[in-house]
Amino acid sequence: MKLTTKGRYAVTAMLDLAIHSGNGPVSLADISQRQGISLSYLEQLFARLRRSDLVTSVRGPGGGYRLTAAEDAIFVADVVDAVNESLDTTRCNRAGDCQNGEMCLTHHLWADLGDEIHRFLSRISLAELRDKPEIQAVAQRQDQRQRETAVIAGDTRPASA
């Protein structure tokens, strides 16, 4: 499977946004700090997510990003598709020239697997992920670590919760 860092980071960032969106716009700097994803990489991903109308930006003090739809209406496959991530599991990128310019014996098996993965991800919403207890526990740990880092740095502004 060719789900690369781009797709994984986009899903992670969108899930972080879904978790923290109840307090208004979420800054990419906060997502970057909590998830360990570079700010410049997040900016590139969010440009694609914005073009796909999954997020909207809010300018000014207290600005950041918001989801354009409810968390239960945005699915993992939407996010992966928005960043042009391939879920192709064939060696030939579905060209059918996998074995010396011809289709290999298992081409259709791997093509079907890629389709099945996409269908699976199309059934998982950000809300479903957000509400999982194990994800909530990780988010709480990340939020606590972010608050501790802010205190050590002398930043008295509340970190987005």
pLDDT of residue 114: 87
pLDDT of residue 2: 61
In a domain? residue 156: no
Number of domain units in the chain: 1
CATH (domain of 51): 1.10.10.10
In a domain? residue 160: no
pLDDT of residue 26: 96
In a domain? residue 157: no
pLDDT of residue 157: 58
Report helix, strand or coil for 57.
strand
- In this prediction, the residues of the chain whose per-residue pLDDT falls under 50 are 161
In a domain? residue 161: no
In a domain? residue 155: no
In a domain? residue 102: yes
Domain carrying residue 26: 5-148
Q: Which of 63, 15, 60, 67 is nearest to 37 (CA)?
A: 15
pLDDT of residue 161: 44
| Cα distance between residue 53 and residue 156, in whole Å | 34
In a domain? residue 56: yes
Residue bearing tokens 């440009």: 47
